Amino acid sequence: MIRIFVTGGTFDKAYDEIRGRLSFGDTHLHEMLRLGRAHVPVSVRTLMMVDSLDMTDADRDVIVRNCAHCDDTCIVVTHGTDTMVETAAALARGVAGKTIVLTGAMIPYAFGSSDGLFNLGSALSFVQVLPPGVYIAMNGQHFAWDRVRKNRETGVFEAM
Amino acid sequence: MIRIFVTGGTFDKAYDEIRGRLSFGDTHLHEMLRLGRAHVPVSVRTLMMVDSLDMTDADRDVIVRNCAHCDDTCIVVTHGTDTMVETAAALARGVAGKTIVLTGAMIPYAFGSSDGLFNLGSALSFVQVLPPGVYIAMNGQHFAWDRVRKNRETGVFEAM
Amino acid sequence: MIRIFVTGGTFDKAYDEIRGRLSFGDTHLHEMLRLGRAHVPVSVRTLMMVDSLDMTDADRDVIVRNCAHCDDTCIVVTHGTDTMVETAAALARGVAGKTIVLTGAMIPYAFGSSDGLFNLGSALSFVQVLPPGVYIAMNGQHFAWDRVRKNRETGVFEAM
Amino acid sequence: MIRIFVTGGTFDKAYDEIRGRLSFGDTHLHEMLRLGRAHVPVSVRTLMMVDSLDMTDADRDVIVRNCAHCDDTCIVVTHGTDTMVETAAALARGVAGKTIVLTGAMIPYAFGSSDGLFNLGSALSFVQVLPPGVYIAMNGQHFAWDRVRKNRETGVFEAM
């Protein structure tokens, strides 16, 4: 069983047609798993729905505690890309003996041109085969939590 | 460097609007890698463009020889789902010491509701971390080539 | 009230993922009207679900009788493009005093790249303002039923 | 020849993946006309790229002058929905003897679920057959400029 914790981020941004701006509603994760015809057993729980630039230390505590206390040892966390590395570091400090893979998207899933489905397929795969540790899966690659940074100019995650 | 061999299958079926039927044109793989914002180095080569129900032993020989003789040790093969298991068996007999992951789609990528992008993200991830061997990556799962069958009624790949 | 009669055609072709080929299921028209946020009152009825190359004289009789006998004077007929002109001629012979607009698509709606939504928006608009008669609405244009042919090489409807 | 003037609005909003927010780039109109396989002769010109809430009187003057001075008598204006009625009123005061149809979208075209393609097909059709005057084409309907308001709660244009 793979546990998926949803925290928001670009991945789940929707378009609020009444107010004419981006917003968060329900997660698109169930629809994405259906589209991907995923048959790996998963359990999805939404922890929060926030832009990762607005994520507080208290929010990160919630994520860490949920990952630490759930029974599952394979965990995917969907997360905004801007502070994904910070949350990965918090998870590395607070959770041991589990494989945790953070992923997200540069373009909202609700847009036709999203990278979200590709990244979800990637994260769900990495989490099944990587040894315990905290990783980021973006751009078809995986990075140990302390060996990666997001290049803010290009939007690409880079090894360091 | 990951080598990607394209052989056709539902993955790459297009709609021929003049003749009103499904057909094969160029592969959608480059567009899919761009959409997924994949930054893992890949080299794509189209070996054939066929429905896997029409694939001959000679076609399988071409795939096996290309996998055996290329310099790369991580290989993804896109393939129709109907005879994917047969080609996986041929690869297992003919290639040693490489990680080969076959993947495909139940719905053409050109359709809005395709599982192709999810499967591509999955296959590209599995191929980077699985030990040498021949695998099938479908439905978010990976299977050793001799432990899987496609359920023709449901379209789902199942462990056996 | 606009009456919409569904007869199949490329418009409504779906992909049968178990058999790996195009097929007809339920019409996509309700979903398309929802996507277009159409607020013009419509009443949708599926008469048949066929490729227009397979449409018989008996099928055309069904369409003509339904258009003649319904209470509505504004009618849209979704139809395969290959014999759309023939059905338009049958309607012109069999129905008087109503505005009937036939439309269809070159690419199935279920494909991401379909012209179907554009054509539906066009047909629903023409039918509200054109005088009684039988018309074809394709490619953003409208044609009287006896002034149009489909160019089989280009897939474009042309005035003649 | 139909003249199309682009002014921005939700229609043309794009997602800026580096900054994580909605923005305006180039218009999607050419791509939409291609997707719709439109064969009606059009001439597209971008006058501005603004959210209609930010549109000034000076901006409206630019639109009115362009509509008044161009040679074409059939004109489509793509426009944000929030102040579409105001611009329609300005056009009615400033331009005579031409058929002008304003249209827009509730969801950006770049989103998979946009109503933009439907509305474009609708506007291009109405403009070819309506008598001179200024109209709004939304939700599959057309309204004379002085007989319509946008319901801000539902996002629907209503006759009044």
Per-residue pLDDT averaged across C121-145, rounded?
Answer: 98
ipTM entry: 0.97
Question: What pLDDT is stored for residue A16 in this prediction?
Answer: 93
Record the pTM.
Answer: 0.95
Q: Which of B36, B130, B140 sits opposite A118 (nearest CB)?
A: B36
Q: Which residues of D touch A106 (CB under 8 A)?
A: 17
Measure the CA–CA gap between D111 and D10, rounded to whole angstroms.
10
Length of chain A: 160
In the chain, the amino acid numbered B93 is R
Closest to B11 (Cα-Cα) out of B152, B83, B101, B106? B106
Q: Is the predicted pLDDT of residue D111 greater than 90, yes or no? A: no
For range D76-95, the mean pLDDT: 98
| Contact check, Cβ <8 Å, D18/A153 | yes
The average confidence (pLDDT) of chain D is 96
Q: What is the DSSP letter of C39?
A: -
Give residue D113's pLDDT band: very low, low, confident or very high (50, 70, 90): confident
Contact B15 C111 (CB under 8 A): yes
DSSP letters spanning C89-121:
HHHHHH--S-EEEEE--SS-TTBTT-SHHHHHH
Mean pLDDT of chain C: 96
pLDDT of residue B77: 98
Interchain CB distance below 8 Å, B111 and C106: no
Mean pLDDT of A43-54: 97
- Read off the pLDDT of residues A37-47 as tens digits, 9 standing for 90 and up: 999 999 999 99
| pLDDT, average across residues D35-49 | 97
C155 → chain D, closest CA residue = D37
pLDDT, residue A111, reads: 86
D30 pLDDT tier (thresholds 50, 70, 90): very high
pLDDT at site A113: 84
DSSP 8-state assignment for residue C130? S
| Closest residue in C to D39 (Cα–Cα) | C139
* pLDDT of amino acid D49: 97
First and final C-alpha spacing in chain B? 32
Q: Which residues of A touch D153 (CB under 8 A)?
A: 18
Residue contact C113–B110, C-beta within 8 A: yes
Residues in chain C within 8 Å Cβ distance of D155: 37
Summary mean pLDDT of chain A: 96
DSSP B73: S
Calculate how close chain C gets to B23, using CA atoms only, in Å.
Answer: 10
Summarised one tens digit per residue, pLDDT across range C63-92 is 999 999 999 999 999 999 999 999 999 999
In the predicted structure, residue D112 carries a pLDDT above the cut 90 = no
Best mutation target among B4, B32, B37, B126 (most A Cβ atoms within 10 Å) is: B37
For residue C26, give the amino acid letter. D
Q: Over pLDDT 90: what percentage of chain A?
A: 98
B121 to chain A: which residues are within 8 Å by CB?
A: 117-122, 125, 140
H-type alpha helices, chain B = 29-35, 57-69, 84-94, 116-129
Rounded CA separation D144/B135 (Å): 63
The arithmetic mean of pLDDT across residues A127-134, rounded, is 98
* Chain centre distance of CA B79: 4
Across the range C100-112, mean pLDDT stands at 94
Provide residues of D within 8 Å CB-CB of chain C: 32-33, 35-40, 106, 112-115, 117-126, 128-130, 137-142, 155-157
Taking residues D88-107, what's their average pLDDT? 98
- pLDDT given for residue C100 in this prediction: 98
High-pLDDT (> 70) share of chain D, %: 100
Strands C21-24, C13-16: parallel, antiparallel or unpaired by DSSP? antiparallel
Contacts of A130 in chain B (CB under 8 A): 129
Cβ neighbours of residue A53 closer than 8 Å, sequence gap 6 or more? A80, A82, A83, D20
Question: Is A157 within 8 Å of A136 (Cβ atoms)?
Answer: yes
Q: Which residue of D has its CA nearest to C115?
A: D36
Question: Closest Cα to residue A6, out of A104, A107, A125?
Answer: A104
Taking the C-alpha atoms of residue D102 and residue D144, their distance in angstroms, rounded to an integer, is 10
Mean pLDDT of D67-90: 98
Quickly state the pLDDT bin for D91 (edges 50, 70, 90): very high
A29-33 LR contacts (CB < 8 Å, sep 24+): A29/A4, A29/A78, A29/A120, A32/A109, A32/A116, A32/A117, A32/A120, A32/B118, A33/A120, A33/B140
Closest residue on chain B to C18 (Cα): B155
Which residues have CB under 8 Å from C115's CB, separation 6+?
A: C105, C106, C107, D35, D36, D37
Which chains pack against B, by 3+ Cβ pairs within 8 A? A, C
Below-50 pLDDT ranges, chain B: none
The pLDDT of residue D75 is above 90: yes
pLDDT bucket at C111, cuts 50 / 70 / 90: confident
pLDDT of residue C113: 84
Lowest mean pLDDT among B39-48, C110-119, D36-45, D83-92: C110-119
β-pairing, D133-138 with A2-8? unpaired
